[in-house]
Chain A
Amino acid sequence: MFRILRDLLRSNREFLAGAVMVSAVLLLVALSFVSPYDLMATYTVPPDLPPSGEFWFGTTSRGQDVFWQITAALRNTLAFGVVVAGASRVIALVVGLVSGYAGGRIDQAIMALNDTLASLPNIPILLLVYFVMRDEMNWWLLALAASLLGWTYDSRLIRSVALTLKTREFTRHATFSGMRMPQILLREHLPYVMPIVFYTTMNNLIWAIGLEVTLSVLGFTDINRPSVGGMIYWANASSAMVAGVWWWIAFPMLCVAILFLGLFLLAMSVNEYIDPRSRLRRLRTQ
């Protein structure tokens, strides 16, 4: 594991750039735990100050320090992404492995359902969930709803690998030696799909974080809890662009851009690494 990581950092420029960007964001997240202010509180500092030595990223019209708000916002936004990516990974793995192993009619039925769910537009459904829940809506419920919508592409990918594993020699051995399906899937097949799972996790993280940013920009989450989208929501609600408080919008946007680009570069380079064809091509050019 560490050797792979070292090789990637050394030989793959995209991976290095992505790792640096994500580390920078993680550093900010770590800083949120030592914040000098209560990050849920408003009017703790003078409002509308431009970036300066004392307030690196300026202050908001609600009297919050933009820098420290961003640290907490990134923490909450990332936590949401990790929970959704984790939960939807479990669903994608179970559906993909079972469908690929079962094959035949069962596989067809599961994949028909899978494709049906995949072609439904997510945002209208999530907005409907928010609309009927309103005040009952909280962070966990949103994460649950997003997880239930976010596994369909990945389960199809996992299934395509599981299909090829089914006819391999070791699966037959395992069946004849009396292992039952859950055991075979967990002990024999799971290790083979792990590289894909890792790659899809990155993409799913990007999707989930994008979703959180989008919904909180619209004000459709708990708006008092710091989040990157929430900061932009409050900035818009206070007409920050018109009032010239540009740093309130610019810095959260910059951080989101760095985070997304970093995760995307990681996903791309890992995908290239686990695909032997592109790895060979890279070796040949070196």
Chain B
Amino acid sequence: MSGFLVYVARRFVQFVLVAFTGVTLAFLIVHLSPVNPVDQTVSLMTTFGATDPASVAMLRSALSELYGVNGSLAHQYIAFWSRVATGDFGPSLSAFPTPVLTVILRAIPWTIGLLTLSTLFAWTFGNVLGALAGYYRDSRLLKLAGIVVTAVQPMPTYICGLTLIILFGYTWPIFPISGGTQMNLSPGLTWSFVGSVVTHGALPALTLVLVSLGAWFNSMRSLVSNVVTEDHVVYAELAGVPSRTIFASYVARNAMLPQITGLALSLGHVFSGAVIVEFLFAYPGMGQLLIAGINAGDYSLVLGVTTISIIAVGFATFLIDIAYPLIDPRVKLG
């Protein structure tokens, strides 16, 4: 057990390091840029209609306070961390006076739901197919599947999603192409609401699955075709172990280990893809919020979404990492 605890502690340190680096990076990008956020927001607000100098000065001092650009860089850095720790990013300017945290908390479930389901599905499906393709090397059907998923894999997420919109939104309109649910439905556990969430999520999820399926498929196939030639598998074959058992317990379980590490490492990439998908399908999650915040010049919202998503991705990576010993008992013995 102690080996497991050491393992978890080490992973936790890595998570803290990721969160610390990410938040520091976000702080540095914002504070070392030549563009002053206060000036930018003031000019954005005074573009439409003249405002008298006194109220502009008031706005300026209020914003300086809000954005924490007073005092030395070190002082600002500590202030920034205390805001991150308490989750207080101030009010959102585009949804004034709703606090940024409230806006984000409203969006988070959508992103988590979409990402968890599509990532789990792509990972499971890609690995099972890839393992089968590596084990049954002569199957024509699996070869065909390999060609299809490999061809889709290098496409940028946006292009893939747009193709789906054209196919299933315009040419053969069977799925809604924007929003997270139908507008006139009230949230709740009713058939119509859940059904609406599912149909609205279908195309965004399909996009995310399609673009990541090929990578899992191909790496699992090559892992399996390497494991197959190893002595313990050859021995099992000679000993007459049924091929199903060889496939499941001798080959797939061994080949799975690097794929779990791969899943943990790819989460940042997956989240980046989700930002684009959410924007494309107007899905009400974090990515859509981030891009809307950028377009509205909503400084506190953008900073809030960026820091929270960096920490959340790091934490999800940590969770997958500590699930690893369940599959690989060697870690427990440490």
Contacts and interface: CB of A to CB of B under 8 A. Distances in A.
Interface of A: 112, 115-125, 127-136, 206, 209-210, 213-214, 217-218, 220, 229, 232, 241, 249, 253, 256-257, 260-261, 263-264, 268, 277
Contact of A263 (B34, B154, B303): B154
A130 B294 contact: yes
26 contacts: A118-B265, A119-B313, A120-B18, A122-B268, A122-B272, A123-B271, A123-B273, A123-B275, A123-B276, A124-B305, A125-B25, A125-B306, A125-B310, A127-B275, A127-B290, A132-B33, A132-B35, A136-B33, A213-B159, A218-B276, A229-B158, A253-B163, A256-B156, A260-B155, A260-B156, A277-B226
B317 interface: yes
Interface in B144-167: 150-151, 153-159, 162-163, 165-166
Interface string B267-302: 111011101100100000000001100100001001
Interface string B31-48: 001110100100000000
A257 B151 CA distance: 9
Contacts of A220: 294
B153 A264 contact: yes
A206 B272 contact: no
Contact of B306 (A127, A133, A256): A127
B81 interface: no
Given A124-B275, A217-B158, A260-B154, A133 B17 contact: no
B183 interface: no
A124 B37 contact: no
Contacts of B170: 241
Nearest to A252: B159
Query: 8 closest Cβ contacts across the A-B interface?
Result: A123-B272, A264-B154, A132-B33, A121-B268, A210-B156, A260-B154, A121-B271, A124-B306
Interface in B212-241: 226
A125 B24 CA distance: 12
B29 A132 contact: yes
Contacts of B273: 123
Contacts of A119: 18, 264-265, 267-268, 313-314, 317
A250 B155 CA distance: 14
Nearest to B225: A281
Nearest to B16: A116
Contacts of A268: 150
B127 interface: no
B155 A127 contact: no
Interface string B297-334: 00100110110011001100100000000000000000
A277 B264 CA distance: 28
A144 to B, nearest CB: 12
Contacts of A128: 26, 29-30, 302-303, 306
A136 B290 CA distance: 20
Contact of A257 (B26, B155, B271, B294): B155
A53 B186 CA distance: 53
B33 to A, nearest CB: 4
A88 B165 CA distance: 34
B21 interface: yes
